Amino acid sequence: MARKILYQDAINEALDQEMARDDSIIVMGEDVVGGTGANGEMDAWGGVLGVTKGLYGKYGDRIMDSPISESALVGAAVGAAATGMRPVCELMFIDFMGVCFDQIYNQAAKFRYMFGGKAKTPVVIRTMYGAGFRAAAQHSQCLYNIFTHVPGLKVVMPSSPYDAKGLLIQAIRDDDPVIFCEHKALYATEGDVPEESYAIPFGEANIVREGDDVTIVALGRMVRFAAKAADTLAADGIDCEIIDPRTTSPLDEDTILESVENTGRLVVVDEANPRCSMATDIASLVAQKGFGYLQAPIEMVTAPHTPVPFSGALEDLYIPSPEKIESAVRKTADYGN
């Protein structure tokens, strides 16, 4: 039955239940056991935030700490996947993708295609993204759009504990490489999660809230910000429909287009930088396939085209806020009036 647990515990539970079900699943990454070299299992902290805590005690050597070398760890995971394992590897920060990108985009993403469908690469790469932690320009980025650009990768962005568990289970069972993006600011959020195992299919958007006036498409942490804005706007009689695509690849185009067909107005909220982003991608989708539905220009709420600032005051201004979403919705709702 459902009970309230944290986003990070939902991830832990998905790993635990799947590892119990299938021996071929292994977990590897920097510090995922934690405390290696210290004495005993009590020191197995389970990653910097404790997301994998408890798994080492249960599954022993199937949880592996790796050297601090993303190219080695991701390469090993991709190789293990190609030869019959189902590795879940952790790229601690999405910002570190640069050093292991060949293993991801030019190897893992290509195997099924280049080997005529005879190879599969069931690897999951869990990774943290997002700003708000005073962690500066090299540990705060939203680079999911770069993975989304690559054919052969599936890209997942859970915004709630329920989605985190169900999408991670689906990611593990999927035969293709999956980039599983976890926002740092969501780990401590709480929500209803069934105890039983369940898988949420990829490419199935969640309609977080129904409304007839303006469609907001929001991703990851921005779903919560959009919900906050929608509460304020509802008090003023503007009913927003919030769509969380849940996966950027595949993308549930139909749900977005159907919603805009009903509302005629679209605001896309994306914490990433604005150029060549999910915001521009979704805006272009609707401009091309839903042009006739639109009653106002599409609005985008994104970070500016700059690195994430270290200054706290600037970082707060950098991240799209519920207030910025609210003002974008008002702008599109008022258009033509």
Alpha carbon distance 155, 152 (integer Å): 10
Q: Which of 173, 177, 242 is nearest to 19 (CA)?
A: 173
How many Å is the maximal CA-CA distance in the chain? 69
Is 2 a binding residue for other proteins by CB under 8 A? The answer is yes
Is 198 a binding residue for other proteins by CB under 8 A? The answer is yes
Per DSSP, what are the bridge partners of residue 2? 194
Comparing CB distances to other proteins, the nearer of 77 and 208 is: 208
Q: Report the half-sphere exposure of 17 (CA within 13 A, side-chain side).
A: 19
Per DSSP, what are the bridge partners of residue 140? none
Shortest distance, position 244 Cβ to other proteins, whole Å? 12
Shortest distance, position 197 Cβ to other proteins, whole Å? 4
Residues in the interface with other proteins (CB under 8 A) total 20
**Catalytic machinery residues:** 139
Is 316 a binding residue for other proteins by CB under 8 A? The answer is no
Question: Kind and range of the H or E element at 8?
Answer: helix 7-21
Comparing CB distances to other proteins, the nearer of 43 and 192 is: 192
Task: Count Cβ atoms below 10 Å from residue 336 Cβ, excluding itself.
Answer: 7
- Contacting residues for 327 by C-beta, under 8 A, at least 6 apart: none
Is 201 a binding residue for other proteins by CB under 8 A? The answer is yes
Shortest distance, position 3 Cβ to other proteins, whole Å? 6
Is 236 a binding residue for other proteins by CB under 8 A? The answer is no
User: Out of 207, 281, 287, 327, which residue is the one contacting other proteins (CB under 8 A)?
Assistant: 207
Q: Of the listed pieces 2-10, 42-50, 128-136, 321-329, which binds other proteins according to CB under 8 A?
A: 2-10
Is 254 a binding residue for other proteins by CB under 8 A? The answer is yes
Q: Given the DSSP bridges, would you call strands 299-302 and 190-194 parallel, antiparallel or unpaired? A: unpaired
Question: 233 vs 113, 213, 242, CA distance in Å?
Answer: 47, 10, 12
Alpha carbon distance 301, 274 (integer Å): 8
User: Out of 210, 212, 231, 334, which residue is the one contacting other proteins (CB under 8 A)?
Assistant: 210
Which residues, numbered 59-118, are part of the site for other proteins (CB under 8 A)?
A: none
Which residues, numbered 262-281, are part of the site for other proteins (CB under 8 A)?
A: none
Positions touching other proteins (CB under 8 A) are: 1-4, 162, 166, 192, 194, 196-201, 204, 207, 210, 254-255, 258
